[in-house]
Structure 1
Amino acid sequence: MIADTPQPWLATCPRALPPILAKELEALGATDLREQQAGVSFVGTRAVMYRACLWSRTATRVLMPVGDGPASDADALYETLCGLPWPELLQEGRSVAVTFHGTNSEIRNTRFGAQRSKDAIVDVYRAASLTPPKISLENPDLQIVVRLHRDRIDVALDMVGESLHRRGYRRASGDAPLKENLAAALLLRADWPRLASEGAALVDPMCGSATLLLEGAQIAADQAPALGRSSFGFMAWSGHDDEQWRAIQSEARGRAERGLAQGLPEIRGYDADPKVIRRAEENISAAGLAKWVRVSVKALGEVRKPTHIALPKGLLITNPPYGERIGRKDSLPQLYRHLGELLNREFNGWQAAILAGDREHGRSLGLRSHRQYQLFNGRLPVTLLLIDLEGNRLTDEHAGAREREAPAVAEEKANLVLSPGAEMFANRVRKNQRKLASWLKRSGNECYRLYDADIPEYAVAIDRYGEYLHVAEYKAPAQISEEAAAQRLADIRLSLPEATGTTADKIVFKQRERQRGKSQYQVRGDAGEMLSVREGNAKLLVNLHDYLDTGLFLDHRPLRLRIAAEAKGLRFLNLYCYTGSATVHAALAGARETVSVDLSNSYLAWLGQNLAHNGLAETRNHLQRADVMQWLREGDDLFDLILLDPPSFSNSRKVPGSFDVQRDHGGLLNLAMTRLAPSGVLYFSNNRRKFRLDTDVSERFAVKDITKRTLDPDFQRQPVPHQCWEFRHEAP
């Protein structure tokens, strides 16, 4: 056996991981450890180096320093490399390649630096009348690493070969894959080795290619990450001792066999995309862990804590999209908010480790993290959040405000004096609330219309959105002066808190402001504040401040719930999708696929946020920015369920001409029906008050007027807010 004496080594790793790598190396027998920006230098025997290559979960490479010296120019570089004893370092007949890093004022190109270095090494052999090593740029037996810093170089042999982060099990990966050594570092930071030894479960609700799950399984099984690798750079090093290496390999195999024989804890992963899950299954099979690591297709909103066996504790770990490479950045706060709600609801008592793209995403979780680590995924800065879910409740920034508001409401009521008109308005609002009470109790609706210009002089529409009221002013009748209209709006502002029990700060007024010139009505606002409300099984985002409309047409509630009841297993098409509330309902109900078409980037972004808010992936819920009629003409895919809810009038600069629903609905319906499957159903709705359906359309298809069945009690008033028809190719 070749003598094995301690010597210096350098293990490299991604930035921010040296503290973890240093602990690994110390456990493997290394001494004199010194952390650097992207690595750890240490002293150890050849056996320690072998174990570092085999067992380190966070290292990228292990280098053996062989010399250093001046390299102010090409000649100095050449002389320094010629002074190193290459025949004593390299096994005869092996192939090598030079990897060169860095430049200076004289050596301006790394390819030139590598070529000059290679020339020096070859010339050393020729000067000694020896056969030089073969040069192989593609697959060398050993890499020689030359690092230039200012006017000096450090030279080392790469003991590894292919980067250690490549475990060999990854057959396929999705967008922005997490490198294996970073995945292992996340698990080590989250204390997974201890949790696994105690039988804790491991769950990744957005598992992608299953990297976190496989690294977690290898840790739990006490399996060396490089155990499946057949070649290392040190095998071409003259100091390699094959007998010693095989003994260390054999020990590692024995530990892995015993680890698997003892069984692994529950390890599960989920992803909404079937293609991603298929890739994950390929990787799991390649790793030989299909018996222990299981993955399945589930949207984030469908993930539940495993309950088939007793699981007192567990670790939920995941790497959500950050937006820089994948995902819609404007949807990410809702995705993280939904993830936080899932953790709080389903995984109480567990630990969580979330790799967030930035601190703002972490805040969107709404959960307190007891520790944060700044890391890098490639070049992207990321933050690992460690969260103890035992008693960790979602933050509620409004709770304190509600407590403070109660005395204020009582004081307002005690001092309130209403005019006769304001009292009349308040009585009507209270009457409407009593009239809707039994229906609201049965339905559980938290968003509904409370008042709609019931008293013509008080021309507003009042909608409730959870704890908030949204008041939209109508144009006053011509005989009403601006002063009288302003006074009645003031009456509404004064009486509404008392009539509804809603504090003034939770009442949003959309006042239409008359402007000089044309009688225009504009709404101003750019706060971007979104309020989450519930409708059926869906959580929908509304904006009460910035737009004339809130993002949710309340009169279409019954139609959306009808679509939810019918969508399971079907392909759903939402034309003029607006903010996509019907799409969310269909997807949550189990639609096989949804496609939503709209010309507005703003509405599609809003839909993306709604999907993320419900834990639904865009991989099965496709967003198409296009003119609807052009999109219908250009495709031929068939859908089982279609919602067609066009605007009354549209005149967009993005498409030529204009759209008028009365004038153009015949051609639009004919196009839409070409995309309806033979046994499918299309729902056509619009809110044009005097709309009349063309006779030739109603004769060409099987058509039913279902308007009355799409109006809940809060909208059963005249005139009706919309008309709705059911279209089929043939009557059922």
Structure 2
Amino acid sequence: MNFFVTCPKGIEGLLLDELKMLGMASVKETQAGVYFAGELRDAYRVCLWSRLANRVLLPLQVSPVNTADELYEAVQQVQWLDHLRPLGTLSVDFSGRTEQIINTHFGAQKVKDAVVDQIRAATGSRPTVDRVEPDLGINVHLYSGKATIALDLSGGSLHRRGYRKRAGLAPMKENLAAAVLYRAGWPQLAATHPQLLDPMCGSGTLLIEAVMMAADVAPGLLRERFGFSRWLQHDKSQWQKLQAEAVKRRDAGLAALTVRFTGYDRDASVLQLAAQNAEQAGLARVIDWREQDMVELGAPAPGPGLLVTNPPYAERIGDETELMYMYRQMGERLKRQFGGWKVAIFSGNADQCKVIGLKVDRQYKLYNGAIECGLFLFTLHAERDRPLPLEPGTPISEQAQMFANRLKKNLKALSKWVKREQIECYRLYDADMPEYAVAVDCYGDWVHVQEYAPPSSIDPRKAFERLQDVISVIPEVLGVKQERVVLKQRRRQQGSSQYGRQGQTDHFIEVQEHGCKLRVNLHDYLDTGLFLDHRPVRRRIQSLALGKDVLNLFCYTATASVHAALGGAESTTSVDMSATYLGWAMKNMGLNGFSGGDNQFIQADCIKWLNQPRAAAFDVIFMDPPTFSNSKRMEEVLDIQRDHVSLVQAAMKLLRPGGVLLFSNNYRRFVLDYEVLADFDIQDITAKTLDPDFKRSKSIHVCFEIRHRAG
């Protein structure tokens, strides 16, 4: 019998070697697969043991086909009652085209009709279509005027082993993971490098596949069904013998396993998925899962090993420049901590891998779906790759020195003001030099660096090298630890995307501002929980709050409400749509000793909440809406330029006589409609709400005090 085994693009050669290793004869490589000749038990063996295959096909008929009628006749050349019961179920997988057959759905329909018509004519009964678990899977491929009609013995793609019930973001297919491991020299490498680490393991696919390879576990053992399971010519006894043999080999392999397997990830929820997948695979006790960030990367145990990983590469997760920084960090940790190890990094972005700073031993082209990717193999020599520690005063580039000088100049200019005002959080630098388009914000002994996304015309590696200057200069100039410099990239944001979660560290620090204690998070969100440019606005609210009822709309983390409470407010009411930020707001209040009925937190769409009938009940209202928002939880789309009049009018209905509405936003081209709002007394206080650290950014926000006119 002749068979055809399909596989992902780029691993045909590996599949050829694997089939030879499984004892297949007359093996021949072609595009997207490999042919082999053998008996039925050989096809079963491939279904059970191939780590690389997608499907195992048994061709039944090859005929010249151009028209739909010719396709119909070709399918009828097969005696389908030899393969399928009259009342059985089938599915058709159709690919390819001719001048006459250009629609795959039409082609599949024609194949189905030919099978059904033949069986109905012979028996009076007809099979039905079942696309999920058919008794028989039929595969038809049109190419160069010929139709190959085959049975799919594998059923669903063989990469679905059965252990991965859930996956994290952007998971790697199991057979691609196996291809990466084979190219890295696994499992033969286990004899000399008896530990394997994936430092960004996600849902654990690479590790689980590596264990199965090292322990001689057949990848098909967990699958509940195959395409041959209800095929009329299925040889159950042969299949059961192969399964029994595989179970013995698995048990023996796991008992003899001495390799150490470790998976790190910074996301605890993803690690939980990985552990569940390993348990499903029967490997729960074999792999050690640890919650750990790349900045803490180190070898799990002394001695050599293989580090293999599939880091994010900006096609789906993460930002390119930030990822380059992560890759550089990884390179430095590898040099310092992994002497004697082999390293395999699978990535869709060669530029990111180049910044690792290691010499590539070999490089292979592989595909993750449609994405062309590279597998980069490195050897870390125990002594040669271990970098010397940087001596104090190590020379930096001329441009980096200019950046350092600007930081020192700004620090000196702001130092008296920072000391006088007892300010802990402030902006030190904001793209003062075009070569270094970053914002540098100080939060006590932490530094938050935001890189403004460079234009596409800038070479990403060149932009990254400049960013490296920033990261290397800051600790020396500001006297902070390297690990306390947090980097993000800031793109143009729409709606509430700036509030979306970026990470999962839950690492909060406490800072102080004008007597208030506030929680900030520098890692997990684009913004930190504290808008530094609104510092004077919050202080103004604190000064106005004594004995007043204060309303904070679009409150975010309610830092303005904390200021109001500290200023002696009779009550504060904080309204926001996000439960996450309201929880953060409550913790901010509790940190300062304010809780209870006098400080209310309301989860609501502020626009809808404002438009509900209620009496004027507030003396001070602060409203700082986003520029634009189309959040799914909002009933309407918010455009601050278009909608500010209705927002102001609605807020003023809740303002008592003699009270004040502080209205601000960050739209740089905002123009207040004084004419429509002429019934109110409006003062533009923007200039008064810019502290020295934001004097260079005069358009960063606008702010108005709005009151009812007397009489």
User: What is the CA–CA distance in structure 2 between the aligned matches of 1:74 and 1:226, rounded to whole Å?
Assistant: 37
User: What is the CA–CA distance in structure 2 between the aligned matches of 1:474 and 1:301, rounded to whole Å?
Assistant: 30
How far did residue 236 of structure 1 move?
2.8
* 1:202 is aligned to 2:196: yes
Residue matched to 2:584: 638
* 1:359 is aligned to 2:350: yes
CA RMSD of aligned residues (A): 4.8
Residue matched to 2:598: none
* 1:44 is aligned to 2:38: yes
How far did residue 105 of structure 1 move?
2.9
Residue matched to 2:82: 88
Residue matched to 2:217: 223
1:653 to 649, 664, 668: 668
User: What is the CA–CA distance in structure 2 between the aligned matches of 1:266 and 1:285, rounded to whole Å?
Assistant: 17
The runs of 5 or more residues in structure 2 that have no matched partner are: 411-430, 452-462, 492-501, 512-520, 535-553, 559-575, 590-663, 673-682, 697-711
How far did residue 303 of structure 1 move?
2.2
Q: 1:156 to 1:539 in 2, by over 3 A?
A: same
User: What is the CA–CA distance in structure 1 between the aligned matches of 2:141 and 2:438, rounded to whole Å?
Assistant: 51
Residue matched to 2:507: 592
| Amino acid aligned to 1:592 | H
How far did residue 93 of structure 1 move?
4.9
1:137 to 131, 140, 144: 131
Residue matched to 1:663: 688
How far did residue 562 of structure 1 move?
13
Q: 1:594 to 1:48 in 2, by over 3 A?
A: farther
| Amino acid aligned to 2:252 | R
How far did residue 37 of structure 1 move?
1.6
Identity within the alignment, %: 35
Map Cα deviations across residues 110-156 of structure 1 (whole Å, 9 max, x no partner). Answer: 11111111111112223333644332123212210011225321110
1:544–1:550 contact (8 Å) kept in structure 2: no
Q: Secondary structure at the match of 2:74?
A: helix
User: What is the CA–CA distance in structure 1 between the aligned matches of 2:684 and 2:256, rounded to whole Å?
Assistant: 69
How far did residue 274 of structure 1 move?
1.4
User: What is the CA–CA distance in structure 1 between the aligned matches of 2:297 and 2:21, rounded to whole Å?
Assistant: 37
User: What is the CA–CA distance in structure 1 between the aligned matches of 2:27 and 2:464, rounded to whole Å?
Assistant: 58
Map Cα deviations across residues 528-562 of structure 1 (whole Å, 9 max, x no partner). Answer: 899xxxx9999989989999x9687789936x669
| Amino acid aligned to 1:273 | D
User: What is the CA–CA distance in structure 2 between the aligned matches of 1:471 and 1:524, rounded to whole Å?
Assistant: 8
2:135–2:231 contact (8 Å) kept in structure 1: no
1:221–1:264 contact (8 Å) kept in structure 2: no
User: What is the CA–CA distance in structure 2 between the aligned matches of 1:286 and 1:189, rounded to whole Å?
Assistant: 26
* 1:338 is aligned to 2:329: yes
Q: 1:144 to 1:338 in 2, by over 3 A?
A: same
**Count, aligned residues:** 512
Matches within 5 A, 1:99-248: 99-129=93-123, 131-198=125-192, 200-248=194-242
User: What is the CA–CA distance in structure 1 between the aligned matches of 2:692 and 2:409, rounded to whole Å?
Assistant: 23
Q: Secondary structure at the match of 2:582?
A: coil
The runs of 5 or more residues in structure 1 that have no matched partner are: 1-6, 403-440, 449-461, 476-521, 578-586, 597-616, 643-648, 666-683, 690-732
How far did residue 217 of structure 1 move?
0.8
Map Cα deviations across residues 484-515 of structure 1 (whole Å, 9 max, x no partner). Answer: xxxxxxxxxxxxxxxxxxxxxxxxxxxxxxxx
Residue matched to 1:15: 9
TM-score (norm 1): 0.61
User: What is the CA–CA distance in structure 2 between the aligned matches of 1:348 and 1:661, rounded to whole Å?
Assistant: 57
Residue matched to 1:624: 527
How far did residue 527 of structure 1 move?
8.6
2:339–2:386 contact (8 Å) kept in structure 1: no
Q: 1:136 to 1:595 in 2, by over 3 A?
A: farther
Q: 1:660 to 1:58 in 2, by over 3 A?
A: farther
User: What is the CA–CA distance in structure 1 between the aligned matches of 2:437 and 2:13, rounded to whole Å?
Assistant: 41
1:463–1:470 contact (8 Å) kept in structure 2: no
User: What is the CA–CA distance in structure 2 between the aligned matches of 1:196 and 1:561, rounded to whole Å?
Assistant: 38
Residue matched to 1:500: none
Q: Secondary structure at the match of 1:268?
A: strand
Map Cα deviations across residues 610-629 of structure 1 (whole Å, 9 max, x no partner). Answer: xxxxxxx99x6221399935
| Amino acid aligned to 1:107 | I
User: What is the CA–CA distance in structure 2 between the aligned matches of 1:446 and 1:641, rounded to whole Å?
Assistant: 42
Residue matched to 1:377: 368
Q: 1:229 to 1:314 in 2, by over 3 A?
A: same
Residue matched to 2:73: 79
| Amino acid aligned to 2:127 | P
1:557 to 475, 478, 481: 478
Residue matched to 1:294: 288
Residue matched to 2:654: none
Residue matched to 2:308: 317
User: What is the CA–CA distance in structure 1 between the aligned matches of 2:374 and 2:53, rounded to whole Å?
Assistant: 20
1:255 to 246, 249, 252: 249
Q: 1:139 to 1:275 in 2, by over 3 A?
A: same
| Amino acid aligned to 2:304 | K
| Amino acid aligned to 2:380 | L
2:360–2:376 contact (8 Å) kept in structure 1: yes
Residue matched to 1:274: 268
How far did residue 373 of structure 1 move?
0.5
How far did residue 345 of structure 1 move?
1.1
| Amino acid aligned to 2:49 | W
1:221–1:259 contact (8 Å) kept in structure 2: yes
Q: Secondary structure at the match of 2:206?
A: helix
Map Cα deviations across residues 67-123 of structure 1 (whole Å, 9 max, x no partner). Answer: 121321111111111111212233565321111112333223211111111111112
User: What is the CA–CA distance in structure 2 between the aligned matches of 1:163 and 1:316, rounded to whole Å?
Assistant: 28
1:94–1:236 contact (8 Å) kept in structure 2: no
1:525–1:545 contact (8 Å) kept in structure 2: no
Map Cα deviations across residues 14-64 of structure 1 (whole Å, 9 max, x no partner). Answer: 001111111111111111111112110111111211110000000000000
Residue matched to 1:601: none
User: What is the CA–CA distance in structure 1 between the aligned matches of 2:206 and 2:487, rounded to whole Å?
Assistant: 35
How far did residue 282 of structure 1 move?
1.4
Residue matched to 2:544: none
Matches within 5 A, 1:424-463: none
Q: 1:546 to 1:651 in 2, by over 3 A?
A: farther
Q: 1:561 to 1:216 in 2, by over 3 A?
A: closer
2:557–2:588 contact (8 Å) kept in structure 1: no
How far did residue 446 of structure 1 move?
7.7
| Amino acid aligned to 1:321 | P
User: What is the CA–CA distance in structure 1 between the aligned matches of 2:464 and 2:318, rounded to whole Å?
Assistant: 26
2:324–2:464 contact (8 Å) kept in structure 1: no
How far did residue 235 of structure 1 move?
2.3
How far did residue 172 of structure 1 move?
1.2
How far did residue 391 of structure 1 move?
4.9
Q: 1:473 to 1:262 in 2, by over 3 A?
A: closer
Map Cα deviations across residues 546-579 of structure 1 (whole Å, 9 max, x no partner). Answer: 99x9687789936x66996xx9xxxx999x99xx
User: What is the CA–CA distance in structure 1 between the aligned matches of 2:321 and 2:128, rounded to whole Å?
Assistant: 53
Q: 1:33 to 1:537 in 2, by over 3 A?
A: farther
| Amino acid aligned to 2:163 | Y
How far did residue 392 of structure 1 move?
8.0
Q: Secondary structure at the match of 1:373?
A: strand
Stretch deviating more after TM superposition (104-113 or 79-88): 104-113
2:400–2:470 contact (8 Å) kept in structure 1: no
Q: Secondary structure at the match of 2:155?
A: coil
User: What is the CA–CA distance in structure 2 between the aligned matches of 1:90 and 1:105, rounded to whole Å?
Assistant: 31
User: What is the CA–CA distance in structure 1 between the aligned matches of 2:670 and 2:363, rounded to whole Å?
Assistant: 49
